Amino acid sequence: MGKVVTFGEIMLRLAPEGRCRFIQTASYGATYGGGEANVAVSLANFGVDAAFVTKLPKHEIGQAAVNTLRQFGVDTSSIVRGGNRVGIYFLEKGASQRPSKVIYDRAHSAIAEAEQKDFDWKRIFEGASWFHFTGISPAISDNAAAITADACKAAKEAGLTVSCDLNYRKNLWPREKAGTVMSGLMQYVDICIANEEDASDVFGIHAEDTDVSSGKISHAGYENVAKALTQRFNFKQVAITLRESISADDNNWGAMLYSDGKAYFSKKYAIHIVDRVGGGDSFGAGLIYGMLQKMPLQESLEFAVAASCLKHSIEGDFNQVSTDEVKKLASGDASGRVQR
């Protein structure tokens, strides 16, 4: 099982304590996170050789981000050092009917201003078998989009499996630009991961009989979405997470995996949310792990959904769980009873 390489931006996460709002807090807790970094940490926790690639300043805040990854066993040897700032995001956790809010402060970050010549992808992919990126990376800047394209091309030339989580962020770029840029990248992608809104936001492919605001999810509708994505981009598999939002605190959570014309659906979990940021990333990491382990497709899907279910119970971006914990939940033990 070769190394998994992920590429993106790791940010400083600043969040008020508990459920306090931005306008009422006097202090912020500081941690680190970001889509592709979250995937690398999850995989490292599962025992996978995982590397994260980005650009970070040489100063202490940049080093703190590197140190955070290292403590989980993520390979940071290909992180380029330079630039002036680490991207920041502020998180206000929602509660009940009040949604969570994210405010980005990442303009002119080191990775946003990185150059294509900063990254030697042929060297980076030595010994690797998998490359993962998300739609956040090319949304950061035109430079980052060009670097992402370079990485995808090099990954395919090296024979790696390439996965992409569409991860549309309306605060980073408009739908029209996202559709254009991401369409150009999809030719390199083997496995596409999306949530219940991404395919619509990025590619205009809508699920029928579905209303994400009310939590109404149609299995047939998303099977058709996956089929349409596969036909348009020739993906090997499409995975779609299915979140039924009851409130900011409670969701129903499941997923679908589409492969060779067949749709697989996971069991559904009723989750009470501690921290939902990174939920999709933990699903992606779980799916990658299952496929690297050559689990049957249904088993890979169940592992991914269970991993993500557990992530919703953990503070911070990173999913700090073991494979044994995930497998226990996936096998049916969802009691939450004390383990002694």
User: Catalytic residue positions?
Assistant: 281
Residue 94: CB partners within 8 Å, gap ≥ 6? 19, 100, 101, 248, 249
Q: Would you say the C-alpha torsion 207, 212, 217, 219 has a positive or negative sign? A: positive
Strand partners, 16: 28
The H-or-E segment that residue 62 falls in is: helix 60-70
Token pair, residue 23, equals 């306008």
Identify whether the C-beta of residue 262 lies closer than 8 Å to the C-beta of residue 296: no
Identify whether the C-beta of residue 53 lies closer than 8 Å to the C-beta of residue 87: no
Alpha-carbon distance 215 to 48, whole Å? Answer: 35
Helices 35-45 and 60-70 meet at what angle, rounded to 10?
30
- DSSP string computed for 286-324: HHHHHHHTT--HHHHHHHHHHHHHHHTTSSSSS----HH
Helices 142-157 and 175-185 meet at what angle, rounded to 10?
20
Taking CA atoms, 124 is separated from 51, 65, 66, 77, 203, in Å, by 9, 20, 17, 9, 30
3-state secondary structure of 11: strand
Q: Which of 121, 111, 118 is nearest to 54 (CA)?
A: 111
